[in-house]
Structure 1
Amino acid sequence: MKKVRNIPLYTITDKIVNLTAEISELVGVITVKNNINANPKLRRDNRIRTIHATLAIENNSLSLEQVTDVIDGKRVLGKPYEIQEVKNAYKAYERLLQYNPYSVQDLLDAHRLLMTGLIQETGVFRQGGVGVFAGERLVHMAPPAKQVPQLITELLQWTEKARLHPLIKSCVFHYEFEFIHPFADGNGRMGRMWQTLLLAKWKPFFAWLPVETLIRERQDEYYRALALSDKNADAQPLAEFLLQVILAALKELAETEQVSEQATVQVRRLLEALGTDTLSGRELMKRLDLKHRPTFRNNYLVPALEQKLITMTVPDKPNSSKQKYRRV
């Protein structure tokens, strides 16, 4: 096949360099603490926030609470199409770390999961031309459909081989993916998810970092940066925006970890006291040398249960006098 396009175009500005350095420093701190990887509840909450935000950007009207209920298998009053979007996104994100970010087939499979039941052309590249509109105004005309397979193949090959910092490379990929617009629909959520995958292959905790939540909060700025990158034929404006959002998300995570650090210490104490035994609340308090039951419950027991680190022997009756606890 005839060569269609060379490597992505991007400019490394002082702002990009400084943001990358600041992010890398925070990444080091968070990696050492490793709290997000060790906290199943925080991971799940962040995953749900991510799904809610990335779909809200695409005009899904379900609230965060409704999205949570859909994922939990509860009945939700809402548009069937929007409920299907949530179910699909959850399946795709749950499989995220199994994907090879440089594989065309994995990219197609992820799109199939995201868009099943929503459009006809799932898991295949678009067959026709496509444009991005702001109202009635055309703001971006994507390359012809016949060029898409080669453009995506070349982009994934570049992404795998380019000697560029993973943060910057993921942002350049995000822009180029949206420029190519490889699918009939679902390009926005796919581009954001695949950037998350690229970052997670660098540092795994990025799989649980709800960057999309902050993109949604700055949605107009996101689209302006995309448009400016199109106008300049350079990924730099979008890269600067995305790096700012990643930095903000990391700062939010660091603040959350500071608040929860003491609770984490108390949960660890409870787990050490419990060991491999199955104990009642009274027995646990005795091992922890605690006298005040509300302190035990609020600072030790409930956080451990919420993080799914311990389980109840009588889950249907939380207040049972026969209730005991054991490690998961």
Structure 2
Amino acid sequence: MIAEISEQIGQLLAVDDRRQTPQLRRGNRIRTIQASLAIENNTLSIEQVTAVLAGQRVLGLPREIQEVRNAFAAYEAMPDWQPSSRVDLLQAHQLLMHGLIDDFGQLRKAGVGISRGEQLVHMAPPPSRVAHLIDDLLAWLGASDWHPLIISCVFHYEFEFIHPFADGNGRMGRLWQTLILSQWRPVLAYLPVETVIREQQDAYYAALSAADQLAESTPFVEFMLQALSLALKEATQSEPATDQVTDQVTDQVARLLGSLLGKGPMKVSELMEEVGLAHKATFRANYLKPALAAGLIEMTDPDSPKSPAQRYRLTELGKRAATTR
């Protein structure tokens, strides 16, 4: 699996420089943040996360909006951290959980268990042992000569086992694994592996549980390597299409996509107002029809194109083009 992933990374590095434009990196980071928070029951969509980070007003719970802002700040600060530094680990948790819990940036002082429904699936070590266990884990991280792929997965599992914080352990574990991998191959800093974990969330927790039962991290390492491989496969397959679409998007169509991003379906009159046009024929010729033809937007009622109730919304392709442009 290490050999396969290394080959996939080589393929990702060998592609056109356009693949790593700032827009694409930001789009991948948004996907990472949305998925990692969704695992923790944050309900904001990619469009809403994009809008929050653009400073737009979003209809959502204040806590969920705060989680997005915190996560973005943490991922942006990641290049300044050393994986084996306890100070940096605490600073990362402070950024992630600021305003969400009282003891952000501090190791927990109480016992904690992890439940699924009414079932207790993991009882973390007592708080009196947390500091010692974390220091041992960070010392091992700094001294290990294992392959970085394995190190990152083992660290992720052991971190979740210790559960060093009162809250935010899941998102911290995923962030720190990304940090470890990014110092090995910088391109991995923007790999949205969290989206794969989100789609396979039950398997993620099952792998953690299986590792607990075996008292070794192998099941979790295997799961994470598979998730990394799948994320790399999706990255190498999906980015060319996104780039081609982005290149073909005119300024007018881009304005239309931006008007729809983070919002629900809209009528023609509403879209014209958003882009600042009063002439319907010009709007249809330069904005609406090209976006429909490229598959960037779609009708809510395609069977009745001329329906007075007709509205338009972004397709998945349109969302990606709007995010990466």
Which position in structure 1 is the counterpart of 2:78?
96
Residue number in structure 2 paired with 1:126: 108
Give the CA deviation at 1:230. Answer: 0.5
Q: Could you say if the C-alpha distance between residues 228 and 36 of structure 1 is closer, same or farther in structure 2, counting changes exceeding 3 Å?
A: farther
Unaligned runs of 5+ in 1: 1-18, 268-296, 307-315, 320-328
Partners of 1:90 and 1:45 in 2: how far apart?
12
Q: 1:132, CA displacement in angstroms?
A: 0.6
Instruction: Find the counterpart in structure 2 of residue 292 from structure 1.
Output: none
SS at match of 1:138: strand
Find the counterpart in structure 1 of residue 122 from structure 2.
140
Q: Which AA in structure 2 matches 1:256?
A: S
Q: Which runs of 4+ in 1 moved over 6 A?
A: 261-264, 299-303, 316-319
**Aligned-pair CA distance for 1:259:** 3.3
Kindly provide the amino acid, as one letter, of the partner of residue 196 in structure 1: T
Render the CA deviation track for 1:265-296: whole Å, top value 9, x for unaligned.
xx7xxxxxxxxxxxxxxxxxxxxxxxxxxxxx
Write the mapping of 1:3-82 to structure 2, written as runs, cut at 5 A: 19-33=1-15, 35=17, 38-82=20-64
3-state SS of 2:122 partner: strand
Paired with 1:184 and 1:153, the residues of 2 have a C-alpha distance of 17
Query: In the alignment, which residue of structure 1 is the partner of 2:182?
Result: 200
Indicate the percent of aligned positions where both proteins have the same amino acid. Answer: 55
Partner of 2:156: 174
Return closer, same or farther for 1:187/1:199 CA change in 2, 3 Å cut-off: same
**TM-score for the superposition, normalised by structure 1:** 0.74
**1:105 corresponds to 2:73:** no
- For residue 214 of structure 1, what is the amino acid of its counterpart? V
Aligned length: 259
| Deviation larger for 226-235 or 157-166 | 157-166
Q: Is the 8 A contact 1:36 1:208 kept in 2?
A: no
User: 1:218 — aligned with what?
Assistant: 200
Q: CA deviation at 1:262?
A: 6.2
Q: Displacement of 1:28 after TM fit?
A: 1.4
Check whether the contact 1:57–1:219 (CA below 8 A) recurs between aligned residues. yes
Q: Which amino acid aligns with 1:203?
A: R
1:149 pairs with 2:126: no
Shift of 1:154: 1.0
Asked if 1:115 is matched to 2:114, the reply is no
Deviation, 1:100, is: 0.9
Gaps of 5+ in 2: 258-274, 283-325
Report if aligned partners of 2:153, 2:177 keep a CA contact under 8 Å in 1.
yes
Give the SS at the match of 1:132.
strand
Residue 43 to residue 300, structure 1, CA distance change in 2 (3 Å): same
- Letter of the 2:24 partner, please give it: L
Distance 1:263 1:88 in 2: 31
CA RMSD in angstroms comes to 2.4
